[in-house]
């Protein structure tokens, strides 16, 4: 496997030939595709509004559009493509599955491929959790794992309310959207799941308590503990607490380790299942295989999707068997048996472990973070630069107005990056956090090239909006 990876020159190229060169986008061929897409696809489509291209080919960290422009893909299918596009070990695993007369669709019936996937996954879990864990295969999206987890903890506890956090993102289905902080997609929707209570997440840069630093996490933990014990809090004892160890869509906000340990203590002392949504941060991205491992906690429930399918759709809920009180068929779904995704996912996980890519994500993430901090010195519009491993973000502000969010500048930076061959996405409040989610196979040279393009793009965007 290592051999395959090292021999693949295309994947290891430092940068494409046209890297950093400015192009007017969308190119003429992309324009035709985009026009047809606009005419036929839903108004709810999102990425094509900002990433204005049609993709023709993809390999490693690079994608090529139909006009022949090459881009660094630092969006990676919203964190799905841990090994980048079309990694040889992923393709090989899929090819073997296709060549072997294996079934491709099996509902939740078992197969040797599924068995091996479960073995590989359990071997990757912290041993304390693996020893007590059970797995539920879900419909193939992250949101369905969230829905399943809600049923699991509600059934096991006999309770109905759920604690979630401001800035959290858990999906777009009814239950998962109810747990999501972002107001925009909720505004028009009536009848969302009741009994969801939002708590303040420790977001130092814009501390909800006006404190910041260690004080912020201490007050947050104290507040939550008090709330759970206060007979006048208005919140009946919850069936669970759900959170991301690093909020992704909410603006790349890592929870301090101590605060996470406090959440684990507070919930465990009160018999409230703690659900770690690792759908985006899991599988090596933050510098550990699972983001909750930084804090050394053992959750009751862990949600996985995105990278676990090795670029194909797959999602699972892992949970403490004490919670396994739901009845046969309590959560179902036709597409729980995607064998290609299980083969690709097992191969991805194996490759990440064997090549210590979680550690590499830490090292390369630190390199990117230090480049971003250098850029910040010349460009105070990068108000805060933060994250963990290869899950990083730069919050864009108008420095002439304190730390006022500057959504227009963030958008312009994203557009300038795209025009120079770098795909980045925006997230966070008012879309002002420029997010870096490169595949874990990014090299040091590629980190340097990406940072260079980013620095040029920030300067160009500032100039345009001056
Ligand atoms: C943390 C987290 N949870 C849940 C989801 C929902 O996953 P999906 O879009 O596959 O439904 C996402 C998607 O971005 C996510 O980042």
What spacing in Å lies between the alpha carbon of 230 and ligand 1's midpoint? 32
pLDDT in tens, 386-410: 999 999 999 999 999 999 999 999 9
Give the residue, out of 169, 173, 185, with the most ligand 1 atoms within 8 A of its beta carbon, to mutate for a pocket test: 169
The residue nearest atom 16 of ligand 1, judged by CA position, is 280
What spacing in Å lies between the alpha carbon of 70 and ligand 1's midpoint? 27
What spacing in Å lies between the alpha carbon of 262 and ligand 1's midpoint? 25
What spacing in Å lies between the alpha carbon of 169 and ligand 1's midpoint? 7
Complete DSSP assignment for 209-270? TS--HHHHHHHHHHHHHHHHH-TTSS-PPPSEEEE-SEESTTTSEEPPHHHHHHHHHHHHHT
Instruction: With CA atoms as reference, report the closest residue to 134 among 355, 249, 300.
Output: 300
At 293 the three-state DSSP class reads helix
- pLDDT bracket for residue 22 (50, 70, 90): confident
**pLDDT of 405:** 97
What spacing in Å lies between the alpha carbon of 390 and ligand 1's midpoint? 17
* 155/92 Cα distance (integer angstroms): 41
Mind listing the domains of the chain with CATH numbers?
2-79+357-464 (3.90.1150.10), 90-354 (3.40.640.10)
Give the residue, out of 79, 80, 280, 316, with the most ligand 1 atoms within 8 A of its beta carbon, to mutate for a pocket test: 280
Q: How many percent of the chain have pLDDT more than 90?
A: 93
Cis ω before 26 (30° cut-off from 0): yes
* 428/134 Cα distance (integer angstroms): 33
* pLDDT at position 8 over 80: no
- pLDDT bracket for residue 246 (50, 70, 90): very high
Contact 444, 438 (CB under 8 A): no
Neighbours of 237 (CB within 10 A): 13
- pLDDT bracket for residue 14 (50, 70, 90): confident
- pLDDT bracket for residue 10 (50, 70, 90): low
pLDDT in tens, 178-196: 999 999 999 999 999 999 9
**pLDDT of 240:** 98
**pLDDT of 9:** 58
Contacts of 398 (CB under 8 A, 6+ apart): 381, 404, 405, 406, 409
* 463/466 Cα distance (integer angstroms): 5
pLDDT in tens, 412-466: 999 999 999 999 999 999 999 999 999 999 999 999 999 999 999 999 999 999 8
Atom of ligand 1 nearest to the CA of 172: 11
User: If residue 72 lies in a helix (H) or strand (E), which one and from where to where?
Assistant: strand 70-73
Give the residue, out of 47, 143, 174, with the most ligand 1 atoms within 8 A of its beta carbon, to mutate for a pocket test: 143
* 264/176 Cα distance (integer angstroms): 21
Q: Which residues' Cβ are closer than 6 Å to ligand 1?
A: 78, 141-143, 146, 169-171, 244, 248-249, 277, 279-280, 305
**pLDDT of 7:** 47
* pLDDT at position 334 over 70: yes
Atom of ligand 1 nearest to the CA of 247: 1
The residue nearest atom 13 of ligand 1, judged by CA position, is 171
pLDDT in tens, 204-222: 999 999 888 888 899 999 9
* 114/391 Cα distance (integer angstroms): 29
Contact 162, 195 (CB under 8 A): yes
- pLDDT bracket for residue 276 (50, 70, 90): very high
**pLDDT of 11:** 58
Q: How many percent of the chain have pLDDT more than 70?
A: 97
What spacing in Å lies between the alpha carbon of 77 and ligand 1's midpoint? 11
pLDDT in tens, 23-52: 889 999 999 999 999 999 999 999 999 999
Q: The tokens 């969302």 sit on which residue?
A: 192
Q: The tokens 């090529």 sit on which residue?
A: 64
What spacing in Å lies between the alpha carbon of 144 and ligand 1's midpoint? 9
Atom of ligand 1 nearest to the CA of 305: 10
**pLDDT of 272:** 98
User: If residue 137 lies in a helix (H) or strand (E), which one and from where to where?
Assistant: strand 133-137
Backbone φ and ψ for 420, nearest 5 degrees, come out as: -100, 10
**The pTM is what?**
0.96
The residue nearest atom 7 of ligand 1, judged by CA position, is 142
Measured CA distances, 95 to 45, 88, 140, 350, 417 (Å): 32, 10, 21, 17, 35
What spacing in Å lies between the alpha carbon of 101 and ligand 1's midpoint? 32
Which two tokens mark 269?
């002392």
Give the residue, out of 78, 142, 164, 312, with the most ligand 1 atoms within 8 A of its beta carbon, to mutate for a pocket test: 142
Give the residue, out of 147, 168, 171, 311, with the most ligand 1 atoms within 8 A of its beta carbon, to mutate for a pocket test: 171
First-to-final CA distance of the chain:
50
């Amino acid at each position: 496997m290592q051999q395959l990876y090292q021999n693949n020159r295309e994947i290891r190229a430092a940068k494409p030939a046209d890297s950093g060169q400015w192009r007017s986008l969308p190119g003429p061929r992309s324009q035709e595709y985009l026009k047809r897409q606009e005419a036929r696809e839903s108004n709810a489509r999102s990425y094509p509004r900002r990433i204005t291209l049609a993709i023709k080919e993809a390999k490693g960290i690079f994608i090529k559009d139909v006009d022949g422009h090459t881009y660094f893909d630092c969006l990676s299918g919203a964190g799905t493509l841990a090994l980048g596009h079309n990694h040889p070990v992923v393709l090989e695993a899929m090819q073997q599955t296709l060549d072997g007369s294996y079934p491709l669709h099996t509902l939740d019936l078992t197969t040797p491929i599924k068995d091996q996937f479960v073995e590989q996954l359990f071997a990757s879990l912290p041993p304390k959790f693996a020893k007590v864990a059970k797995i539920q295969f879900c419909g193939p999206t992250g949101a369905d794992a969230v829905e399943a987890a809600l049923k699991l903890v509600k059934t096991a506890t006999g309770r109905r309310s759920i604690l979630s956090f401001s800035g959290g993102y858990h999906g777009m289905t009814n239950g998962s959207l109810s747990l999501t902080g972002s107001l925009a997609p909720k505004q028009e929707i009536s009848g969302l799941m009741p009994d969801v209570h939002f708590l303040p997440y420790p977001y130092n840069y814009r501390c909800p308590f006006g404190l910041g630093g260690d004080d912020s996490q201490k007050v947050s933990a104290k507040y939550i503990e008090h709330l759970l014990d206060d007979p006048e809090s208005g919140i009946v004892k919850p069936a669970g607490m759900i959170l991301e160890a690093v909020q992704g869509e909410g603006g790349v906000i890592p929870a301090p380790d101590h605060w996470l340990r406090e959440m684990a203590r507070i919930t465990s002392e009160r018999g409230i299942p703690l659900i770690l949504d690792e759908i985006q941060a899991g599988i090596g991205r933050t510098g550990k295989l699972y983001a909750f491992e930084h804090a050394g906690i053992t959750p009751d429930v862990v949600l996985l999707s995105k990278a676990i399918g090795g670029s194909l759709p797959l999602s699972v809920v892992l949970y403490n068997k004490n919670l396994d009180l739901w009845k046969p068929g309590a959560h179902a779904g036709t597409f729980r048996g995607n064998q290609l995704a299980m083969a690709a996912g097992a191969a991805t996980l194996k490759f990440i472990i064997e090549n210590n890519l979680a550690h590499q994500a830490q090292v390369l993430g630190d390199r990117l973070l230090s480049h971003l901090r250098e850029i910040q010195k010349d460009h105070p519009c990068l108000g805060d630069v933060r994250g963990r491993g290869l899950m990083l973000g730069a919050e864009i502000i108008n420095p002439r107005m304190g730390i006022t969010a500057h959504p227009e500048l963030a958008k312009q930076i994203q557009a300038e990056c795209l025009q120079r061959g770098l795909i980045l996405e925006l997230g966070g409040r008012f879309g002002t956090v420029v997010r870096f989610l490169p595949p874990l196979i990014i090299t040091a040279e590629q980190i340097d090239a990406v940072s260079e393009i980013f620095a040029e793009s920030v300067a160009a965007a500032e100039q345009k909006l001056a």
